[in-house]
Amino acid sequence: MSLSSKHQCREIITKAICGKGRKFSTVTHTVTPPNNPTSILGAWIIQHQYEAVAAGDGIEVVGTYDLNIWYSYDKNSQTDVAKETVSYVERVPLSYLDPKHRSSTVEVSAEATQEPSCVEASVSSNGKSVILRVEREYSVELVAETKVLVLVGQASDLEDKEFEFAGGDSGDSDYEDLEFDDLEDEL
């Protein structure tokens, strides 16, 4: 790339979102209560805790939650609540990853876009345990330092020129309100 003497490039090192991902999953848990269940009266998930860790080209969400199952036994003559803590590791692949980020500066985060919820609970075929189907969903981000290349020119070069920016009419940015003279004064 050749540039005229009026134009130069600068590399700016900044923190930016260098990777994103999202994953929806359905998992099955089996809980064996102390009494053989006759029917399931309710199932809840509480005490959900998690954290995100970098794992190669993805992010792992590591967490726990408590399963609470209200069930009847002895031919529906008694009820009880079975509780069990579940640990899990959910690997979320990144759909976008900037390969030029500085790996030593990586910070990751995860958000549960759908808290784990029990969508189905049933007594197993042998009548001794409860089978739960749980849905959960996470959105993850990888933030790191990366380089941004910018073209530097004289303010007079920018007058009467129209620029088209990526994302143009999406409404994300309003570049028409930028005052180049003010920006130059700030520098």
For the question of whether the overall pTM of this predicted structure is more than 0.75, the answer is: no
pLDDT at 172: 47
One digit per residue, pLDDT tens: the chain, 187 residues?
Answer: 455 556 688 999 999 999 999 999 999 999 999 999 999 999 999 999 999 999 888 999 999 999 999 999 999 999 999 999 999 999 999 998 888 889 899 999 999 999 999 999 999 999 999 999 999 999 999 999 999 888 887 776 666 667 676 654 444 444 455 555 554 554 4
Q: What are phi and psi of 35, to 5 degrees?
A: -115, 150
Using the CB atoms, write b or e for 150-163: b if 16+ within 10 Å: eeeeeeeeeeeeee
Q: What is the DSSP letter of 124?
A: -
Helix and strand element counts for the chain (H, E) = 2, 7
In the prediction, which pLDDT does 166 show?
60
Q: For 47-92, what is each residue's pLDDT tens digit?
A: 999 999 998 889 999 999 999 999 999 999 999 999 999 999 999 9
CA 115 to chain centre: 12
Q: How far apart, in whole angstroms, are the C-alpha atoms of residue 184 and residue 187? A: 5
> 18, 29 in Cβ contact below 8 A?
no
Question: How far apart, in whole angstroms, are the C-alpha atoms of residue 156 and residue 150?
Answer: 17
Residue 37 CB: number of other CB atoms within 10 A? 24
